[in-house]
Amino acid sequence: MNMFTQRASRSLSPIVRRSARTYTTKPASDVPQPPPPSNKTWLFVTGAAAVAGGYWYYTQPDEAKALEAKARKDQEAVKARAYELKDATAARAEDAKKQAQLKYNELDGKARAQVDDARKSIDGIGKDAQAKYDSLKGNAEKTWEETKRETEHLYNEARGKTDSGAEEAKKGWFSWLGWGKAKAQDAKDEVKRVADK
């Protein structure tokens, strides 16, 4: 430790020791404790208000009766108004129910009419489609028959021409073959003539 530290620790040690010392004393039990303060102000204020209210009630009996009468009258008016509101509410509810029923019936009628119109429209479309189908079917059958007849006619014509062409071709072929036969015969005859000579 250096010198400064030694001096500082010596100078602080008596202070630390003195502050660490404790003193103990017993409280005196023979000394009387003062009673807790009592707060009776609220008692005096409440009593004064009750006395003032009683004084006013007994000195102004007509005004008190008038207030009681007014309170009864107001109570009856409130009851009457409540019954009126009850009846009015019931009447409004009944009116609303009737209006809702009328609106429902109106919309139900419109919906049924629309459904009936749609059914009629669908039936009409179905009948139109059936008529178009039958018409197209009849046209197709008629066209089929005409085409069949024309094809058979053309076939027969072509066959006739083919048959006559084949006959002509046969004649032409056989004549050509016949020409060769005739030449062969001529050659035989000449060979015979040359041999006879």
Q: What is the pLDDT of residue 140?
A: 86
Give a yes or no: residue 13 inside a domain. Answer: no
Tell me the mean pLDDT in the region 161-190.
Answer: 68
3-state secondary structure of 190: helix
Domain containing 175: what range? 109-197
pLDDT score, position 51? 92
| Structural domain includes residue 58 | no
Per-residue pLDDT, 91 = 86
pLDDT at 96: 87
- For the stretch 76-132, pLDDT in tens is 898 888 888 888 888 888 888 888 888 888 888 888 888 888 888 888 888 888 888
Per-residue pLDDT, averaged over 135-146, amounts to 88
Range picked from 56-60, 71-75, 165-169 for highest mean pLDDT:
71-75
User: Does residue 8 register a pLDDT over 60?
Assistant: no
* Number of structural domains found in the chain: 1
Q: Is residue 183 assigned to a domain?
A: yes
- Residue 194 maps to a domain: yes
3-state secondary structure of 24: coil
Q: Is residue 122 part of a domain?
A: yes
Report if residue 176 sits inside a domain.
Answer: yes
Query: For 22-65, what is each residue's pLDDT tens digit?
Result: 566 665 566 666 666 677 888 888 999 999 988 877 787 677 67
Buried b / exposed e over 105-141, threshold 16 CB at 10 Å, is eeeeeeeeeeeeeeeeeeeeeeeeeeeeeeeeeeeee
pLDDT for position 5: 60
pLDDT the model gives residue 171: 65
Reading phi first (left if > 0) and then psi (alpha if -120 to 50, else beta), residue 193 is in alpha
Q: Is the full-model pTM beyond 0.75?
A: no
d(CA 96, CA 88): 12
